[in-house]
Amino acid sequence: MNFDSLGDKVKNARLFKGSKDNPFLAPRGVFVANNMLFVSDTARNRVFIWNTIPTKEYQEPDVILGQAEINEIGRNSGGDVNESTLLYPSGIWSDGKKLIVADAWNHRVLIWNTIPTKNAQPADVVLGQENFYSNLPNGAIGNDPNSQTLNWPYGVFSDGNSLWIADTGNRRVLFFKDIPTQNYAKADDVIGKPNLNTRDYENNEPIWPYSIKINDKGNLAIADTQFYRILIWNDKNDAFHKQADIIIGQENFDNSGQNQFRLSPEKNTLNWTYDAYFYKDGILVNDTGNSRILGFYNIPKKNNENADFLIGRPNFNTSSEFKENLLGTKSAIYWPFSITTENDTLYIADTGNHRIVICDIKNILEL
């Protein structure tokens, strides 16, 4: 990789590719907690855990979930769904004590009450399904959603007490006041729908919510992928009964243009945005389709504000496809699906290049 392609807002960049003999394939989820690294190796139906942050380009995982061995990659481990299998895992959350994984194509979320210590360790709790041995959307093909069902859940987030699930296929976010301890628990509330039994297409609500993030000030961000926007509520508690306060990527709730229908991206446009992450007083936006990360030093106060800085492309008008990619995409990040930070270190799931990019964000005195 040409680390200069990341731009001048980061330093000390390096690559991590997982196991040397069985490296990542399209990893969509990355999360760090208590110096532990969690990666959803999505296309190979497994989640890796490193008990300390890897320091080399290749390093064997301490634990593999979804498969018993490093060389196994089958959907649901090549058999029927159960408490130890995964199918296209995506979003991850942990506090270093619990682990929560969005097992997207099994239409469920799995919870481990303690950090797993052995390969293929069974989950303790399943949400979205009556038991560990079923995996149909909303309980059966054609069913309407309810307070207990899920349909393509891609994102999860917790503040350590409550749980939010991006129930993407049902076009809503489910809220659980307490992290469930029993299977098939009922959600307490919903964001994006008038009730827990509705699945509609309303542009004033999240259309395709893919990830949820909340900071310690109570700001809530939802990556609304299909409308190329990030929705922000100044108070997470308002999201149950009102539309977002701020839109990043569009002028209003009616607009939904890819890069706002412009020929190239700009400081205020988005293209298939799959994630965002609050960082210090601002927010980082994972602009996946443009293969870049937009940075805002402060949370925007109005719709469609320009980003303050850029990571991953030479300028704001360069998209995923540019001259550096003529002979392959590996010289720069390509279709990154998720981002996370711990302290000032940024972790990018560089999905299109099958790797994790790790770098330090420069402080204001270095810029």
Where does 99-208 show beta strands of DSSP type E? 99-103, 108-112, 125-127, 153-158, 163-167, 172-176, 189-191
For residue 125, the model assigns a pLDDT of: 98
For residue 364, the model assigns a pLDDT of: 56
Can you give the CATH number for the domain in which 351 is found? 2.120.10.30
Q: Is 356 helix (H, G, I), strand (E, B) or coil?
A: strand
pLDDT digits (tens, 9 = 90+) for 109-120: 999 999 999 999
Intervals of the chain under pLDDT 50: 365
pTM beyond 0.85, yes or no: yes
For residue 321, the model assigns a pLDDT of: 86
Q: How many domains does the chain have?
A: 1
For residue 366, the model assigns a pLDDT of: 61
Domain of 336?
3-366
Q: Which amino acid is at 5?
A: S
